[in-house]
Amino acid sequence: MSWTAKLKAHSASKQPKPRKPRALRCSTLVQTRAPNEESGDPGAVSEVHYTFDGTTVRLTDRKGMPLEGERTSYVLQPGETALRIATRLALAGRERSSYSAPDVAWVV
Who's near 93: CB < 8 A, 6+ residues apart?
59, 67, 69, 71, 72
42 occurs within a structural domain: yes
44 occurs within a structural domain: yes
81 occurs within a structural domain: yes
> What is the value of pTM for the model shown?
0.65
Number of structural domains, the chain?
Answer: 1
What is the tens place of the pLDDT at every residue in 54-86? 889 999 999 889 888 878 889 999 999 999 999
Amino acid residing at 50: Y
Q: Of residues 10 and 5, which shows the higher confidence score?
A: 5
Range of the domain at 26: 21-96
15 occurs within a structural domain: no
